[in-house]
Structures are given as C-alpha cells and as structure tokens.
Amino acid sequence: MDKKLLDRLIGQVEKPVRYMGNEYNMVIKDPNRVDIRFAFAFPDVYEVGMSHMGMKILYHMINDREDAYCERVFAPWPDMEQKMRENNIPMFALETKDPIKDFDIIGFTLQYELSYTNVLNILDLAQIPLTWQERSNDHPLIIAGGPCAYNVEPMADFFDLVVMGEGEEVTHELLDLYLDCKKQGLDRLEFLYRAANIEGVYVPRFYTVEYKEDGTISKIEPINERVPKTIRKRIIKDLDKVYYPETMVVPYMNIVHDRVMLEVFRGCTRGCRFCQAGMIYRPVRERTPKKLLELAERLIKNTGYEEISLSSLSTGDYSQLEKLVRELMARFKDKKVGLSLPSLRLDSFEKELADQVQEVRKTGLTFAPEAGSQRLRDVINKGITEDDLMGSVEDAFKSGWTTVKLYFMMGLPEETEEDLKGIGELARKIKDCYFNTVKEKGKKALRINISTSSFVPKPFTPFQWVAQNSMEELDRKQNFLQKELRIKNVQYSWSDSRASFLEAVFARGDRRLGKVIKKAWQKGCTFDGWAELFKFDTWMEAFEEEGIDPHFYANRQREINEVFPWDHIDVGVTKKYLWREYQKALKMELTEDCRLNCTGCGVSLLGEGICP
Ligand code: SF4
C-alpha cells in the first residue's frame, strides 16, 4: 500500500486525527515478529470507538502476548471513505497502516444494531468478501463479540465465529487454538469445529434454522454432533483476578469519554424488565476497593489523565462506593484528579457523595425514572417512587444545582395517555420544587431537560414477546408530549422513531435479514445511527426488494411458545423466568433486587458460588 499517499489523503479530510494513530501509549511492535496479527474493529468513528471499555481491555490484553499484535480499526467517515475508494487504498489498521486483509483475525465489536452496515463497509473497503461462504482459508478469520452478538442471527452470514459473553479468557483460548491449528496445518473448517467446542464460542454455519409457513421458526439445530446444541455465554468469576489494563491509549482529539475508566463491577441485580444489559450481564461481580485503588494509581500515572470515571451499569449500587470514593479522593486530592460517576440511579443518589464528585456538578444531575407514572414504573420493575425522585431533586436544588436531566421511555408495554401526562406533571412538580426551595438567587438558571427514547423490545428480556408500538403510534405520542411539555424552563428532546423501528427489527431478527442488510449497504446505507446519514427510505426499499416485511419482526406480539432466533444461546437467565417476569409485569407486580433475595433467574446454575 502507498503509505505516503495515505498520509496525504489523511491531511485532506475532516478530523485527520481519526486516522493518524501514533497516540500516547499506542502499542508498537514489529509485525514480522509475531505469529498472529489481530485487528480490533469498531464499526463506528474513532471518537466513539475509543471510548469503548471492551476495546481498551482487549487491545492491551492481546498486546501483552508476545506472539500477537493487536491493532485498531474504525469506520472511516464518508469523506475518508471516498478518498480511499478513489485512490484504491484498502482498509488499514491505525498502528502500522497495513491493509487488514493481510491480518489473521478481524474482530468486530457489535455494540448497537445500527452499526451493522458499517461492518459490511469495513469488510468491503478491506477488499475481503462479505460472507463466510465466499471467503477461503487465505482470508482473515472474521469474528464478533459485544452485546448484539447474543442475537447475531441477522449477521450470521458475515461472521466465521461469534463470542458470547465476557472476552478476557475466551480470547486467549481462541488465539491459542488458532496458533495450534496453524502449526498443525489444519484448515479453517477444522479450526472452527474445535473453536465451537470452547465455551462461549458460536459458529453460525454449524446450525440450521427451519421455518413454519407463518414465518416463525420451527427449529434450530446443530448440523452434526461435533458441535453443542446450545451455546453458553462466557463469564468471568473473579474480577479482581482477571486482566485489566494498567495503561490506556490517550487520543489527541476529544472523544466521548476522555478519562481513565475504572470498571467497578459487572452485572446488575435490579431486574428492570426492559433492560437487556441487566439480564445478559448477570450476576453482579464486584472489584474490591483495594484492587480499584491499585488500578487507578497505575492508570493515572501511565496516562496523565486528570479524571477518573467509575463505570458500571449502575455505579450507585456498588456496595463499597462510599469507601471507594473517599479513598480515591484522599489518594488523588493533591494531584487534582477529579472523579465522575456517570451512571447514578435515582434511589442510590446520595447528596453527600455527589457533592464530592465533580462531573455531576459540571453536567447537571441525570435521573432515569423511565416512566411517567408509578403504575408504569411497576410494570417495568423500576423500583423507584416519585418521593425518591422529588427527595433527590430537592436535595440537589438545595446544594445549588440548577440543571436536571430526566430520561424516559415511550411506547412501553401497557402504556396509556395517563402515563405520558405523568411526565408533564413530573416536570411541573420539579419546577415547583425548585421555586419553593430556591427562594431568591439563581431562579432564572433553572433547566429541566427531558428526553424520551422509543422503547425497543430486546432479546433475553421479559419483554422479548411484545410488539413494539408502530412508528405512527410513537410519533403521535411524541407530538402529544411536545404539547404537554410546553412549559417554561423545560426542554424536550426525543429520538427518531424510524431508527428505533429498525433497531427493533434487527434486535429480534433472524438469518433471513442478512440479505436486507447487504442490500441496504449496497444501496448506500452506512452510519445508520447518525441522524445526518440515516437513509430510512433506502432501508424500506431494501426490505421491499428482498421481499421481507420488517413489521413481522418489530410490531408483532409473540406467542408464549414461539421459538426465538436466539433460543440456542444460553445466557443463564432462563426463558421460563423471563416469561414469569413478563406475566408479573402485566399484573404490575414487583420483583425485588436479587441482592436481597435470589429470585431464581437461572444464572446461579452457570457455576457454583457465582452469585454473591
Ligand atoms: S440466580 Fe438469583 S442471585 Fe443470581 S442473578 Fe439470578 S436472581 Fe440474582
């Protein structure tokens, strides 16, 4: 590849830093002295991908092996893509600028459904055939992981194998097996058969899917006895013992989360019924404060960052949060290192704690009541009350905060107009609370930002059976809320119902959708998660041309016994438990936090002593 030409082209596009590499802490190795070249591909732009925790972990973990070199790949923005295509520059890795078609393995992380066309675009730019059927032993192995991998069926044609669950251990096992097969001269098929027997590895080509006349699935079966009937997710038992990087690449440009990220725990025990992460990442496993302090010390030293973010699904639930925050503050006080807690839950918000951390103060308080009425919050098992919210908000106003952000979902199962009105009522109560609490100064500064996203039913949740509201229904609800929220000091923003619709199609999609994704990409769809590049009408043409009805996937209520495209994947939480939770939702019955009492979701069967 003409690297001088590439350098020149990089200089001609918007945000060249996206393609330059050479950041502080970037790993440099001699590619000729390793046995495996691995490209970690994030199918979105650099600044989004560089904030991703999984990439930070796996990049440094693979590079700690002497026999492997892991480099990074991000989706080029259309201006760069055009230059690459015009000049026949193949997709390259950031570290060496070498074409990734010469690598051994390309590993994609699938964080959201609307990045699927970018996967195809990266493969095409790399000059690699899109489907496994078209690829030979000489092409790189194309693999994937991440939350969407749990139902990867719409992308089944494009990947050789998929990793289910946490990647730290299984990645090493896969790389070892890959080397072993390479040394023995075994071909790809044999490697895949052996890989399919590693726990957490799914090879889509080894499973067949049969359909009924009504379009639903009749059965999913392995093609022979060399592969297991179900694929069980991988799970790390002890987070203190598992690899965590002691350094991180420090970008030259602003990225979404530009700070040291300390992952305090995995999993969540709350059991919100809409939340896929809360189900697939079970059980809760915490790092100890001792381990976290050690990691923080090394990461601050090695990166020069002046801010630490405590990350997890619900950081306020960390059992030793107060101790950890106090010790981190004490340790880094003199170094002027700040602390941020990005995912506070409403009921775990403690004023004293929040007073100590800087991010909350900078950006305003964020709460996620999710639904506007107690009735609907009980349906979704969001175990918080209006009193919790108002108490926290009042405390915040007393402490000087003037901006409050509130997140809601619309289109939730069992939602009525009353629930939507409840959002407006809540906004008015918060406003009244502010003016009752703050008597004199600062009155003008109050901002209440309300945003709604459209509910997307996800696999492995109690709502995996429900129909998504139609786009027309979602638009009607948005219009209704726009009127309800015409209140001084209140700003309302909402998500595009068409993007949520597509997300719902692919989240619960099956293998038949692969040809639609390919068609949409051929017709020019990429970066579907970016409003300015989203081409909804083109997507609808692709469905039409492939003879597939997207509403079958998004807007159809499923029967109790329907075979789902992901039924051969075992995430620990059982289908029986999810159905039980769905029935409880319809009766507005709550399920308590399983830290207090095990509610029998099935995850404990993944291993002895796995649940706290
Ligand atoms: S098995 Fe019980 S304790 Fe473990 S995650 Fe499930 S409900 Fe919670």
List pLDDT tens digits, range 24-35. Answer: 999 999 999 999
Widest CA span in the chain: 78
Report yes or no on 557 lying in a domain: no
Nearest Cα residue to 210 out of 569, 570, 575, 563? 563
Residue 232's pLDDT band (cuts 50, 70, 90): very high
209 shares a domain with 288: no
Ligand 1 binding pocket mutation candidate from 599, 605, 608, 610 (most atoms within 8 A of CB): 599
Q: Rounded distance, CA 188 to CA 139, Å? A: 10
* pLDDT at residue 403, as a whole number: 85
Q: Rounded distance, CA 296 to CA 305, Å? A: 10
Ligand 1 binding pocket mutation candidate from 237, 268, 269, 381 (most atoms within 8 A of CB): 269
Report yes or no on 65 lying in a domain: yes
Q: In the block, which residue shows the tokens 């006349």?
A: 213
Q: Of all atoms in ligand 1, which is nearest to the CA of residue 612?
A: 3
Report yes or no on 352 lying in a domain: yes
Report yes or no on 520 lying in a domain: no
338 shares a domain with 426: yes
The pLDDT mean for the chain works out to: 92
* pLDDT at residue 345, as a whole number: 47
From ligand 1's centre to the CA of 266, what distance in Å? 13
pLDDT of 60-88, one tens digit each?
999 999 999 999 999 999 999 999 999 99
- Give the angle subtended at the CA of 193 by the CAs of 188 and 194, to the nearest 5°: 100
DSSP letter at 99 equals B
292 shares a domain with 217: no
pLDDT of 493-530, one tens digit each?
999 999 999 999 999 999 999 999 999 999 999 999 99
* pLDDT at residue 451, as a whole number: 95
The answer to whether the CB of 442 falls within 8 A of the CB of 485 is: no
* pLDDT at residue 306, as a whole number: 85
From ligand 1's centre to the CA of 593, what distance in Å? 9
Q: Tell me which residues have their CB closer than 6 angstroms to ligand 1.
A: 269, 282-283, 594, 598-601, 603-604, 611
Q: Which residue has the higher pLDDT, 384 or 490?
A: 490
280 shares a domain with 174: no
Helix ranges (H only) for 441-524 are 471-484, 497-507, 514-522
From ligand 1's centre to the CA of 269, what distance in Å? 7
pLDDT of 146-167, one tens digit each?
999 999 999 999 999 999 999 9
226 shares a domain with 290: no
314 shares a domain with 413: yes
The residue whose CA is least distant from atom 6 of ligand 1 is 601
287 shares a domain with 139: no
The domain of 210 spans 3-232
From ligand 1's centre to the CA of 607, what distance in Å? 12
Dihedral, CA of residue 213, residue 215, residue 220 and residue 223, to nearest 10: 70
Output the domain CATH number for residue 399: 3.80.30.20
In a 10 Å sphere around its CB, with 0-12 CB exposed, 13-18 middle and 19+ buried, how is residue 554 labelled? buried
Q: Rounded distance, CA 76 to CA 118, Å? A: 9
Q: Of all atoms in ligand 1, which is nearest to the CA of residue 602?
A: 1
Q: Of all atoms in ligand 1, which is nearest to the CA of residue 283?
A: 5
Ligand 1 binding pocket mutation candidate from 272, 460, 594 (most atoms within 8 A of CB): 594
From ligand 1's centre to the CA of 416, what distance in Å? 32
From ligand 1's centre to the CA of 277, what distance in Å? 14
Helix ranges (H only) for 185-275 are 188-195
Q: Of all atoms in ligand 1, which is nearest to the CA of residue 573?
A: 6
321 shares a domain with 218: no
From ligand 1's centre to the CA of 576, what distance in Å? 14
Report yes or no on 13 lying in a domain: yes
Residues 6+ apart with CB under 8 A from 122: 41, 43, 73, 75, 91, 108
Q: Rounded distance, CA 412 to CA 466, Å? A: 10
Residue 440's pLDDT band (cuts 50, 70, 90): low
* pLDDT at residue 2, as a whole number: 85
- Which of 188, 214, 232 finishes a domain? 232
Structural domain count of the chain: 2
Q: Of all atoms in ligand 1, which is nearest to the CA of residue 605?
A: 1
Report yes or no on 466 lying in a domain: yes
185 shares a domain with 280: no
Residue 361's pLDDT band (cuts 50, 70, 90): very low
pLDDT of 467-489, one tens digit each?
999 999 999 999 999 999 999 99
pLDDT value at 250 more than 50: yes
CB atoms within 10 A of CB 435: 12
486 shares a domain with 438: yes
* pLDDT at residue 359, as a whole number: 47
Q: Rounded distance, CA 42 to CA 108, Å? A: 6
Ligand 1 binding pocket mutation candidate from 282, 314, 593, 597 (most atoms within 8 A of CB): 282
Report yes or no on 41 lying in a domain: yes
Q: Rounded distance, CA 49 to CA 524, Å? A: 22
Report yes or no on 515 lying in a domain: no
From ligand 1's centre to the CA of 86, what distance in Å? 54
CB atoms within 10 A of CB 541: 15
Q: Rounded distance, CA 401 to CA 437, Å? A: 11
264 shares a domain with 193: no
Mean pLDDT of 95-111: 97
3-state secondary structure of 591: coil
122 shares a domain with 28: yes
From ligand 1's centre to the CA of 585, what distance in Å? 18
DSSP letter at 562 equals P
Output the domain CATH number for residue 106: 3.40.50.280
